[in-house]
Amino acid sequence: MGGLAIIARELGYEVSGTDANVYPPMSNQLEASGITLFEGYKAEHLDPAPDLVIIGNAMSRGNPMVEYILDRGIPYTSGPQWLADHALQDRWVLAVAGTHGKTTTTSMLAWILEDANLNPGFLIGGVAENFGISARLGEHPFFVIEADEYDTAFFDKRSKFVHYRPRTAILNNLEFDHADIFDDLDAIKRQFHHLVRTVPQTGQIIYPSVETNIKDVLEQGCWSETQTIGDDAEKNDWSLKAIKSDYGHFSVTLNDETHEVRWALIGEYNAKNALAAVAAARHAGVTPKVACESLNRFKSVKRRMELLDTINDVTVYDDFAHHPTAIEKTLEALRRHVGEARIISILEPRSNTMKMGVHKTSLAYSLSNADLSYIFQPDDLDWNLNDSFETFDKDKHQIFSSIGDIIQTVVAVAEPDDHILIMSNGSFGGIHKQLIHALKSK
């Protein structure tokens, strides 16, 4: 929503906005753009009445501002619909969809186009470090967007990405998630096929050939050119190969053309995200050679395996991992990077799907690359974490109901050359700064 506000301001609108809590870094971005911020959902923030209210999908009936808008007949719309009507018309939209990796892949693709002097617009669900911002209008024709399958608004239960009508679409992966709005995997596949239906005949869909759920979606009907990505050069249009085991150095191949990437990121999943971005950029006219050279200068995204600090040879990272698959791949990447060094993982199962217990059978396994795991049991979790870890080594996994106890335990066991990975899709009660401070005071 903050990104939408920035784009609206760039288009010349007078913009104000409301949230339950307004805080940096987004509040700083918005204020710098001349956007007025209000804290708390009070009807008085809508007096005098604006010409239009964009209602985010976190809002529901019963919210005081929502009720005021409906009672007074103030015009309103959703974020995705407004974006489609005001910013995406006549644009070449490049959309990145999938259960995991959307933010990073979108950032990579936007950076490749930017580095090729195409000045794209973009809307990203995070702060891309190459830009320092999460959204901008950019210049015609290109607009890169993180295409989320979550629902649009309380009055529009279609997935957000149905509004975007991309010419280039990356479908990175598809797993069951968002159990609070989808009954099962087939319901998500149905929404993905709605997206596929909007890609024109002259458009292109890029997907990993090993993703059977994506294949199921395309088998329902596909009217666009497709490009496959993967490890096997004989079975895919695009392939990659690790030159360094942690994928800090890898090669990209299209037909008989191969180029190398040496960058600051690690992990096979990041290399595959990069492969999709290179393929999408080529559809927009950027050669693989230029795209790979751009990736050498890619700086990642805030909160994606972000190095926070190193204290007495103890390294602390922050990662947004919110799903067992993402957790597993992140830890696998760190293991390849650090070798035999000890990894300590700290996890907050915070997403709605996690809270509902949908992933409880796979959660413990996803942490298997960590030497020690400390898991926070929040009060609003609908199940007991012990159910997931009862068959696993209790010396390796510990469950806590207090963030302070986690910090105290980690500080007590931390040793030089340890790597501490904090995983949550929220603020995790400010654990990051608290832990770093405690390590420095040890």
- Same domain? 99 vs 205: yes
Domain final position from 295, 320, 350: 295
CA dist 431 to 20, 145, 276, Å?
Answer: 21, 31, 34
Do residues 143 and 248 both lie within one domain?
yes
Number of domains in the chain: 3
Q: Does residue 235 lie in a domain region? A: yes
Entry field: residues in the chain: 442
Same domain flag for 264 and 379? no
**Predicted local distance difference test score (pLDDT) of residue 301:** 81
Structural element, H or E, at residue 346: strand 343-347
Query: Which residue among 295, 317, 332 closes a domain?
Result: 295
Kindly give the pairing relationship between strand 343-347 and strand 133-136. Answer: unpaired
Of the three residues 16, 45, 78, the one that is the final residue of a domain is: 78
pLDDT at residue 55, as a whole number: 98
Between CA 121 and CA 366 the distance in angstroms is 36
With pLDDT > 90 as the criterion, what percentage of the chain qualifies?
72
Which candidate, 377, 360, 369, places its Cα nearest to that of 396? 369
Q: How far is CA 254 from CA 106, 228, 229, in A?
A: 21, 11, 10
DSSP 227-283: EEEES-TTT-SEEEEESSTTSSEEEEEETTEEEEEE-S---HHHHHHHHHHHHHHHH
Q: What's the pLDDT score for residue 356?
A: 65
Distance from C-alpha of 99 to C-alpha of 347, rounded to nearest angstrom: 19
- Whether 83 is in a domain gets the answer no
Same domain, 322 and 404: yes
How confident is the model at residue 329, as a pLDDT? Answer: 86
The answer on 401 and 314 residing in a single domain is yes
The answer to whether residues 178 and 150 belong to one domain is yes
What Rg value do the Cα atoms of the chain yield, rounded?
22
Closest by alpha carbon to 120, among 146, 93, 101? 93
Q: Does 100 lie in the same domain as 67?
A: no
Residue 251's CATH number = 3.40.1190.10
Q: Which domain holds residue 217?
A: 88-295
CA-CA distances (angstroms) from residue 113 to 6, 110, 413, 435? 20, 5, 45, 38
Q: Which tokens is 94 given?
A: 């490049």
Q: What is the CATH number of the domain that holds 360?
A: 3.90.190.20
Residues of the chain where predicted confidence (pLDDT) is lower than 50:
none
Q: Report helix, strand and coil shares of the chain as percent, to nearest 5.
A: 35, 25, 40
Instruction: Give the torsion sign (CA, 121, 277, 80, 53).
Output: negative
Residue 90's pLDDT is 95
* DSSP per-residue string spanning 32-64: HTT-EEEES--GGGG-SPPS-EEEPTT--TT-H
**What pLDDT is recorded for position 106?**
97
User: Omega before 25 cis (within 30°)?
Assistant: yes
Dihedral Cα 399, 404, 407, 412, nearest 10 deg: -90
32 and 136 belong to one structural domain? no
pTM (2 d.p.): 0.87
Same domain, 234 and 130: yes
Residue 322 in domain: yes
Question: Do residues 103 and 97 lie in contact, with contact meaning Cβ atoms separated by under 8 Å?
Answer: no
274 with 136, same domain? yes
Q: What is the pLDDT of residue 287?
A: 97
User: Is there a single domain that holds both residue 343 and residue 280?
Assistant: no
Same-domain status, 202 and 291: yes
Residue 352 is predicted with a pLDDT of 67
